[in-house]
């Protein structure tokens, strides 16, 4: 009788007899374990799990999947609303060629309560030759949800809506993320991090070569009613007929940009700005661009519809862009000062480099979060006082004071276990 009961249960629920993926139950305290490329590719076959919890337990190489073989997680019919925690691991060699009518990203669609966090994608190579098919390295479409502590490196190309990390953010947030590589869009909405933003981007950056035609920006192609705070772009931006900016091609329909900068070279044909190509009924506050690197004297190519903040005096020479007071006098929160807040968002090696986000420099090895590996590295430099302007203390001098002291320890502790 017991054997018959077990057989019946197996027929009713295969999960009772065969574990999914590499283990786990998909619950917050017992997430599904994704340990192999096959596990990752299998998620899309189980749409009933799209509201479950997952954790990546290993670095994964996807080079065995080519063309359109990989199963993108989440579609317009069944959106991913669960939690995917990369655990500080990385996925390498995600290659994909989009087919007609297909949006492309490791994740297709995120919706309410969805979270993707602590995940890196390296050496991606994604392309889509179909008009109006969004392409993002990590996620194509974010209807809602959050992306935190994630990064992508590689090459992204599409006819339109090409973004290094995400194609379109309708709502939700992107925090502590970056893209390094190249993004190419033949038509409109091309951005180093996000092609079109209607949500919130906070403490993010891109270091990329961007090429496109309409609405092309180093960080965001078009900020459409979105918010961008404490973020920056560096690299090269090549636009075309309309709206090219070092940070954003267009800032439109109530978009807000605060405490941002661009050190991109900027090239275009019409409506070109060192920071923003076109500011329409939107706001720019306490933001700067490098006039020497960009080759642009104007902050915005054009400001219309009640837009505010396009101040050409915010264009600075390279030496001033590498001076802390340029930003702290405008209210930016830096390590070593408390007037502008206690959060220590920015740090700078004056005279040597532009401002950097503190969260990005605390993780020394770049992988697996801020953990004991980073602590060991930091401890080996404790109380060193021989950190010149070139920062020979290997980056452990977070405030660039010349020595490794308790202020650096405070900064390290504020980010302890992030991304683990």
DSSP structure class, residue 98? P
CA distance linking residue 83 with residue 51, whole number of Å: 7
Please provide residue 409's backbone torsions phi and psi, each rounded to the nearest 5 degrees.
-65, -40
Ranges in the chain annotated CATH 2.160.20.110: 25-212
Cβ atoms 162, 185 nearer than 8 A? yes
Average pLDDT, integer, range 7-21: 57
The greatest distance separating any two alpha carbons of the chain, rounded to the nearest whole angstrom, comes to 84
In whole angstroms, how far apart are CA 75 and each of 44, 124, 315?
A: 9, 20, 43
pTM: 0.87
Helix (H, G, I), strand (E, B) or coil at 54: strand
Please provide residue 381's backbone torsions phi and psi, each rounded to the nearest 5 degrees.
-110, 5
- Please give the pLDDT value at position 408: 74
CA distance linking residue 226 with residue 233, whole number of Å: 17
Average pLDDT, integer, range 139-162: 95
| pLDDT tens-digit readout, 151-167 | 999 999 999 899 999 99
- Please give the pLDDT value at position 104: 94
CATH of region 25-212:
2.160.20.110
CA distance linking residue 200 with residue 334, whole number of Å: 21
Q: Report percent pLDDT > 90 for the chain.
A: 74
Q: Report percent pLDDT > 70 for the chain.
A: 86
């Amino acid at each position: 009788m017991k054997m018959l009961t077990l057989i019946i249960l197996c027929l009713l629920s295969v999960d009772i007899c065969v574990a999914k993926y590499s283990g786990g139950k998909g619950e917050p305290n017992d997430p599904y374990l994704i340990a192999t490329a096959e596990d990752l590719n299998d998620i899309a076959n189980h749409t009933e799990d799209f509201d479950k919890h997952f954790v990546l337990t290993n670095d994964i190489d996807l080079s065995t999947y080519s063309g359109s073989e990989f199963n993108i997680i989440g579609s317009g019919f069944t959106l991913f609303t669960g939690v995917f925690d990369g655990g500080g691991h990385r996925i390498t060699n995600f290659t994909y060629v989009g087919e007609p009518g297909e949006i492309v990203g490791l994740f297709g669609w995120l919706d309410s309560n969805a979270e993707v966090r602590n995940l890196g994608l390296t050496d991606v190579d994604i392309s889509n030759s179909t008009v109006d098919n969004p392409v993002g390295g990590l996620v194509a479409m974010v209807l809602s949800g959050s992306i935190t502590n994630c990064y992508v490196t590689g090459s992204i190309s599409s006819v339109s809506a090409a973004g290094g990390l995400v194609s379109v953010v309708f709502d939700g947030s992107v925090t502590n993320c970056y893209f390094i590589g190249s993004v190419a869009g033949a038509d409109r909405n091309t951005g180093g991090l996000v092609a079109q933003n209607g949500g919130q981007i906070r403490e993010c950056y891109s270091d990329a070569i961007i090429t496109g035609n309409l609405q092309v920006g180093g960080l965001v192609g078009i900020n459409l009613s979105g918010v961008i705070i404490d973020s920056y772009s560096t690299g090269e931006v090549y636009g075309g007929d309309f709206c090219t900016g070092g940070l954003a091609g267009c800032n439109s329909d109530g978009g807000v940009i605060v405490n941002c900068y661009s050190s991109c070279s900027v090239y275009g044909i019409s409506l070109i700005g060192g920071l923003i190509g076109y500011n329409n009924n939107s706001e720019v506050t306490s933001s700067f661009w490098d006039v020497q690197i960009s080759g642009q004297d104007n902050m915005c190519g054009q400001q219309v519809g009640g837009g505010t903040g396009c101040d050409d005096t915010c264009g600075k020479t390279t030496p001033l862009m590498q001076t802390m007071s340029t930003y702290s006098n405008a209210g930016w929160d830096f390590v070593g000062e408390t007037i502008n807040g206690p959060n220590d968002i920015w740090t700078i090696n004056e005279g040597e480099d532009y401002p950097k986000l503190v969260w990005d420099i605390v993780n020394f090895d770049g992988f697996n979060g801020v953990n004991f590996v980073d602590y060991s590295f930091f401890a080996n430099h404790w109380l060193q006082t021989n950190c010149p302007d070139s920062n020979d203390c290997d980056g452990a001098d977070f405030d660039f004071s010349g020595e490794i002291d308790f202020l650096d320890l405070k900064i390290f502790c504020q980010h302890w276990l992030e991304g683990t």
